[in-house]
Structure 1
Amino acid sequence: MFDPKKLLDDLLGSQIPGTSGTVRDKAGQAVQMAKDNPLAAGALAAVLLGTGAGRQVTGTAVKLGGLAAIGGLAYKAYQNYKAGNAPAQTPAAGEPELLPPPADTAFHPSQAPQGEDEFTLTLVRAMISAAKADGHVDDEERQKIAGKLSLAGIGTEAEQFLMAELESPLDLDTLVAGAKTDAQKLELYTASRLTIDPDTRAERGYLDLLAGRLGLPDALVDHVEATVSAAKVPAGTSPNPRW
């Protein structure tokens, strides 16, 4: 069985423990060796989205690792929402770096009632569902993704899991049911929003539908939007925005 937490790290381009680079770098090296360049724009999320444009997670969020970063961003958004602060999409001067969620809160991975690995898989599924939101992942795109995943070095089982999820029809009921607590519902939405920037009606509509099904108040969603936006920077553009 593959490690769900490592896969989540790979999807967000988080640093790989024990190395000086990220899966983004490793994938780029593999592609260069193959005299091709499909992964140069970003981590596995770029493969799933089929684009090198948009924005990517950066800074402390990358260093924390996928699970802690998602929990930290969701917790930060929740704290700002409860404090009645206005959403701010740019970090304030001198603002402290993003921290993992406190261990005594429902946002900490150790508090997951279904276990860390199971909830991590739910977050991965949420990211894949978001990646499919604009409908561009057709049969031809899936074939291209399969070829590029084999270059990313994530392992056969992880590849098979991602491809199976890509080929599965959207099941929002099962996805939403995978979040067992209010904190997990917010984390699930945060992971989805980290995956995509809602530049199309389909993507915006998907996120709005997801927030509604999760029962998230509009004001809380606004804080997630602001918190995620502040954690992302423009990614390098590619001369071929799809592939």
Structure 2
Amino acid sequence: MNVMSVLNQIMGQAQGGQSQSGGGMDVKGLMGGLGNQLSGSKGGSSGVDVKSLLGGGALGLMLGSKRGRKMGGTALKYGALAGVGALAYKAYQNYQNNAQGVPQQAPTQQGRPLEQLQGADQERRGLEILQAMIMAARADGHIDANERALLTQEIEKLGPDDELHAWIQQQFDGPLDAQALARNSDSPQASREIYVVSAVMINDQNPMERAWLDQLAAALKLDPRLAKELEQQVQALEA
């Protein structure tokens, strides 16, 4: 399946454009683009219409009506989608440094960040990330039949192969299952990345979405202190 091709395009929609080709992700370019679009909007003085910022597309539709409000600097957190692996690993390092009694584990036991993976390993991780994004988008139950049809059209524009297209439809049809998502995680690093993209996608002021994130943390067996650090890294992009 051409997972990374599709995932990179969805991530690129966070700045209303396309991410660079291939497996890499232009984190600096993404954050710079967002910063330019948000210039002068911090502090809520002139909020940002996220639907316009995202320019529609699959990501805009996944965020849907729950994001169709003025969000100010909150939109900056979508930069986490482009650097999800690095951000998740940084959060883990902070967690290890700050939490007493946390056992130190060798990097080889943690798994590598998404941005460092290649080939089949990156495709597998990309599938985990995409599954997490879709489940988080469904967490408040806002995707109705019409939105589903529009979203299908937008995903088709990204050029998924037949196998990936069928898999994506299964994700929209299947139950929300945090345990199943956790079982697909291939490493502790993957679990952290799954949590990060979920935290980016949800509105933690929505009780249903907050409940989903809490269920996911439990299913992934994340220490509450680590889950908090992962969320703080996402929220730091809003500052």
| TM-score category of the 2 structures, normalised to the smaller one | 0.5 to 0.7
TM-score by length of 2: 0.67
Amino acid at match of 1:17: Q
Q: Which of residues 75, 80, 83 in structure 1 aligns to 2:94?
A: 80
Calculate the aligned-residue CA RMSD, in Å: 3.5
- 1:212 shift after superposition: 0.8
Q: 1:49 corresponds to which residue?
A: 63
Q: Contact (CA 8 Å) 2:195, 2:216: kept in 1 or not? A: yes
Corresponding residue SS for 1:76: helix
Same amino acid, percent of matched pairs: 27
Q: 1:236 corresponds to which residue?
A: none
Match status 1:199 vs 2:205: yes
Q: Contact (CA 8 Å) 1:49, 1:132: kept in 2 or not? A: no
Q: Which of residues 91, 106, 109 in structure 1 aligns to 2:111?
A: 106
Q: Which runs of 5+ in 2 are unaligned?
A: 34-49, 100-106
Q: Which of residues 143, 159, 169 in structure 2 aligns to 1:155?
A: 159
Q: 2:9 corresponds to which residue?
A: 10
Whole-Å separation in 1 of the counterparts to 2:212 and 2:7: 21
Corresponding residue SS for 2:75: strand
Aligned pair count reads: 194
- 1:134 shift after superposition: 0.4
Corresponding residue SS for 2:195: helix
- 1:177 shift after superposition: 0.8
Amino acid at match of 2:231: E
Amino acid at match of 1:40: S
Q: Which of residues 216, 227, 234 in structure 2 aligns to 1:228?
A: 234
Higher relative contact order (Cα pairs below 8 Å, separated by 6+ residues): 1
Q: 1:202 to 1:58 in 2, by over 3 A?
A: closer
Whole-Å separation in 2 of the counterparts to 1:103 and 1:215: 19
Map of 1:1-243 to 2, 5 A cutoff?
Answer: 1-2=1-2, 4-13=3-12, 15-17=18-20, 40-42=52-54, 44-51=58-65, 52-53=68-69, 54=71, 55-57=74-76, 61=79, 66=82, 69-84=83-98, 106-109=111-114, 110=116, 115-150=121-156, 153-157=157-161, 161-232=167-238
- 1:211 shift after superposition: 0.2
Amino acid at match of 1:45: L
Q: 1:219 to 1:132 in 2, by over 3 A?
A: same
Q: 1:231 to 1:10 in 2, by over 3 A?
A: farther
Q: Which runs of 5+ in 1 are unaligned?
A: 26-37, 86-101, 234-243
Q: Contact (CA 8 Å) 1:57, 1:194: kept in 2 or not? A: no
Whole-Å separation in 1 of the counterparts to 2:217 and 2:168: 24
Corresponding residue SS for 1:185: helix
Q: Contact (CA 8 Å) 1:12, 1:44: kept in 2 or not? A: no
Amino acid at match of 2:6: L
Q: Contact (CA 8 Å) 1:119, 1:178: kept in 2 or not? A: no
